[in-house]
Structures are given as C-alpha cells and as structure tokens.
Amino acid sequence: MLEAKLDQASILKKVVDAIKDLVQDCNFDCNDSGIALQAMDNSHVALVSMALKAESFQPYRCDRNIALGLNLTSLTKVLRAAQNEDMLTLRAEDAPDSLNLVFESKADDRISEYDLKLMDIDQEHLGIPETEYAATITLPSSEFRRICTDLMALSESVTIDASKDGVKFSCTGDIGNGAVTLRSHTNVDKPELNVDIELSEPVSLTFSLKYLVNFCKASALSHQVKICLSNEVPLLVEYALENQSHLRFYLAPKIGD
C-alpha cells in the first residue's frame, strides 16, 4: 500500500495547479523512491516530468509499484478543500480503485477526508536522453514569467540566444519587436534574485510562448528556475523543490528557415 504524508498541502496544490492546463489525465507512479509523473500535452509538443522524492514526505511508505490514474481536474476539486498549511496524507491500496486524501489542520483538530475515484490510464513513457546542455541559465522564476508574458503580448514565439554577452529573449510580431537581455548577476543579500549563465557554446533556439507561459504557472513552487538549452533539442525548464524533488517541463523547439 501507499501512505505518503506531506507537511504542507501547498506543495501538491501548486504542482497540480502548474500542470493541470497542460495535462488532463495522468498516472502518479508510486514506488519506494517516491511519486513520479511523466505526461505529454495533447499536441505532443511539451512533456511534464515530476518527481516527488520519498524524502519530501514524512512518513513515506510504498511496498510495491502503484499507478494512480488521476484526472487532474478532479484532483484539483478535492485539493481545493485543503488549506495550504494543512498536512496532507495520500493513501492507496496495492491495486486501488480510489485514492484517499486526508487533510489535517495544524491549528485545530479539524480532519477532512476524501476518496477520489481512479481510472486506468494506458500511458507511454518516453526515454529522455541525458544531455550536456550548451547553456544553463538560472534566474528568478518571477523574472522568467515576466519576460514570457511581456513578449507574448507581441508574438507567438520567442527566440532565446545565449552567448558570452548574456541571454537574449527576443520576438517579432505584427505590431513590432521586443527583446529582453539578461547578464549574470549576483545579489549577495537576496540570492533568489541571482542570474547565472553557464555557457559551453552559443545557442539560438525558438519556442512557442504559449507553452512557456503555461510552464510559468509553476513559479509559485520555487524562487528560481533553471532553463537548459542546446541547439536542436528540447528546452528544459526546471523548478527545483526540497529533497531533490522537482517539476520539469520539456518543450520541443520550432525549427526551419
């Protein structure tokens, strides 16, 4: 059976909130190392990869592999009943028909309990090759969201150029052009505002802004986001959580001309 308790319901609420517009039905794959999810969006342009490691739960118990087939809209309805600060426990039998969720308030003795029906989801897993990215950029997640939403007002696509001069996000639209350039920057007092650019070779890639703006819904999970690029391969956008848990998005580039 599975028993997994989060000290803060907000972690799962934020993760599900960040992916529910990209993915509707998906398996939460539970094993002794934690709970993982891998799913593509309907158009097969983006891939979501979540790992909530066993260490992120206290306690965590999962005797054998269990796939929890979840509709994320339904899960969202149940999670809305949890306060951010509540402790959240997930429970399931070995071959479950339903997922049991318990929300416990720390402030008072309120306990709420829900059973969510599960579904059989035949999901194909993709092998993601280990990649040494040519450019790895770490920046405030709020800054990345701002750049993506600002540029989406002008264009459907953004070109990301990483070079020794910095990283430039630029777009061309019917009403005109826009570009934002960031350089490495260290803020001693507020390291969450740091911008770090690691580059082994220059990169230039174009991506759909609609997807990037969607990924930015995960900004609530982490002050910083890491974006990794290599020419002609999907972009990796990673929001790191405690205990090496993470939420990753991969986005196929636009190629041509």
Q: How many residues does the chain have?
A: 257
For another protein, which is the closer residue by CB, 59 or 256?
A: 256
For another protein, which is the closer residue by CB, 40 or 193?
A: 40
Site for another protein in 106-125 (CB under 8 A): 124-125
What is the CA 117 to chain-centroid distance, rounded? 24
Residue among 127, 132, 174, 175 that touches another protein (CB under 8 A): 127
- Quick check: 253 binds another protein (CB under 8 A)? yes
- Quick check: 256 binds another protein (CB under 8 A)? yes
What is the CA 192 to chain-centroid distance, rounded? 18
Q: Under a CB-based contact definition with an 8 Å cutoff, are residues 182 and 166 in contact? A: yes
Tokens 């540029």, residue?
Answer: 151
- Quick check: 152 binds another protein (CB under 8 A)? no
Measured distance CA(70)–CA(66) in Å, rounded:
12
Is the Cα torsion angle 88, 15, 22, 238 positive or negative in sign?
negative
Residue among 208, 219, 222, 224 that touches another protein (CB under 8 A): 208
- Quick check: 229 binds another protein (CB under 8 A)? no
Interacting span for another protein (CB under 8 A) from 113-121, 132-140, 193-201, 245-253: 245-253
Distances (CA, A) of 138 to 185, 209, 225, 233: 10, 19, 6, 19
For another protein, which is the closer residue by CB, 59 or 129?
A: 129
Query: How many residues sit in the footprint of another protein (CB under 8 A)?
Result: 24
CB atoms within 10 A of CB 116: 18
CB of 257 to another protein, least distance (A): 6
Tokens 């158009």, residue?
Answer: 43
Tokens 């264009």, residue?
Answer: 155
Site for another protein in 39-98 (CB under 8 A): 40, 44-47
Interface residues with another protein (CB under 8 A)?
40, 44-47, 124-129, 157, 206, 208, 233-234, 250-257
